[in-house]
Amino acid sequence: MDNNRKTYIIANWKMNFTPGEASLYLNKLANRYQPVRKVQAILAPGMVSLQTLSLQINRRQFKLAAQNCHWQDYGSYTGEVSPTQIRSFVDYVIIGHSERRYVFNETDKIIAQKVAAAIRNGLTPILCIGETELERRDGETKAAIYDQLAAGLSQVSAEDIDKVIIAYEPVWAISSNKGAKPASPLDIEEVQKLIRKHIARRYDAQTAENISILYGGSVNKDTAAGYLSIDGIDGLLIGNASLIADQFCAILEIAKGVKNER
Ligand code: 13P
């Protein structure tokens, strides 16, 4: 099955790099990476680096994503950052990452509100979903995926669903989690089918075909090609391996190659 969907390669730096370090990284990457239309390279630095990088970045080469945002545009929420505050810096925002769900107790309701807030502010939400190790062991992967999708998209209308990207990140495959192991291509292909099935039911078949679905969890330059070749997978959300500019650049080059073969 071929399609016209773009490939998204996203570096999620999580809570790493000062603005100075982030700037040096971008400088290094920008000198090496030649963009192509079909591959969208995205950097997701910490909030404190967004302004610096947004002034430095060539938006035809890279785009920026925030790793989180609040669900209100303004207000009395000490320590929080709203989509309205960051929308001049970024085009994308990661919502519902498992570290937000399980370390910061974000509920499905909060995540739904954040997805809506991103869209309202003209940002593309990258909605992360994925089952835990326990859910997987109990045979509840399908239920977990459907529940997170139903809740996360509950405020997204048929007119807006084309503004959403879905990232499948099984919690047990994220490298920083204890005992993490990479997901198998077969498992990932199954889950992307489930996601498209859910989207087809909730919206329609064309929407399900068009929506971009990314994979994240222990991806590195040696495994990227394999993951990008999985039917229905349109890109990668990379944590640890994206902290090394050379490695991230290598993955971007791999994505260009895989896209050309399709
Ligand atoms: P790793 O690539 O370190 O497993 O992290 C995945 C992730 O959480 C990206 O959002």
Pocket test for ligand 1, best of 102, 169, 188, 244 (most atoms within 8 A of CB): 169
Q: Each residue's pLDDT tens digit in the chain (262 positions)? A: 457 899 999 999 999 999 999 999 999 999 999 999 999 999 999 999 999 999 999 999 999 999 999 999 999 999 999 999 999 999 999 999 999 999 999 999 999 999 999 999 999 999 999 999 999 999 999 999 999 999 999 999 999 999 999 999 999 999 999 889 999 999 999 999 999 999 999 999 999 999 999 999 999 999 999 999 999 999 999 999 999 999 999 999 999 999 777 6
Handedness of CA 228, 230, 235, 237 (dihedral sign): negative
Q: What is the pLDDT of residue 200?
A: 98
The answer to whether position 179 is within a domain reads: yes
User: Is the beta carbon of 68 within 6 A of some atom in ligand 1?
Assistant: no
CATH no. for residue 153?
Answer: 3.20.20.70
pTM: 0.97
Specify whether the CB–CB gap between 12 and 99 falls below 8 A. no
Active-site residue list: 97, 169
Q: What is the pLDDT of residue 262?
A: 63
CA distance from start to end of the chain: 9
Neighbours of 164 (CB within 10 A): 21
C-alpha count within 13 angstroms, C-beta hemisphere, residue 86: 32
The answer to whether position 253 is within a domain reads: yes
User: Which atom, in ligand 1's list, is nearest to the CA of 98?
Assistant: 8
The answer to whether position 64 is within a domain reads: yes
Dihedral of the CA atoms 50, 55, 58, 62 (nearest 10)? 0
User: Is the beta carbon of 175 within 6 A of some atom in ligand 1?
Assistant: yes
The answer to whether position 2 is within a domain reads: no
User: Is the beta carbon of 216 within 6 A of some atom in ligand 1?
Assistant: yes
DSSP output for 94-137: EES-HHHHHHS---HHHHHHHHHHHHHTT-EEEEEE---HHHHH
Q: What is the pLDDT of residue 1?
A: 43
Q: What is the pLDDT of residue 179?
A: 87
Owning domain of residue 221 = 7-261
User: Is the beta carbon of 235 within 6 A of some atom in ligand 1?
Assistant: no
Q: What total of structural domains would you count in the chain?
A: 1
Q: What is the pLDDT of residue 259?
A: 72
The answer to whether position 1 is within a domain reads: no
Specify whether the CB–CB gap between 4 and 255 falls below 8 A. no
The answer to whether position 33 is within a domain reads: yes
Neighbours of 218 (CB within 10 A): 21
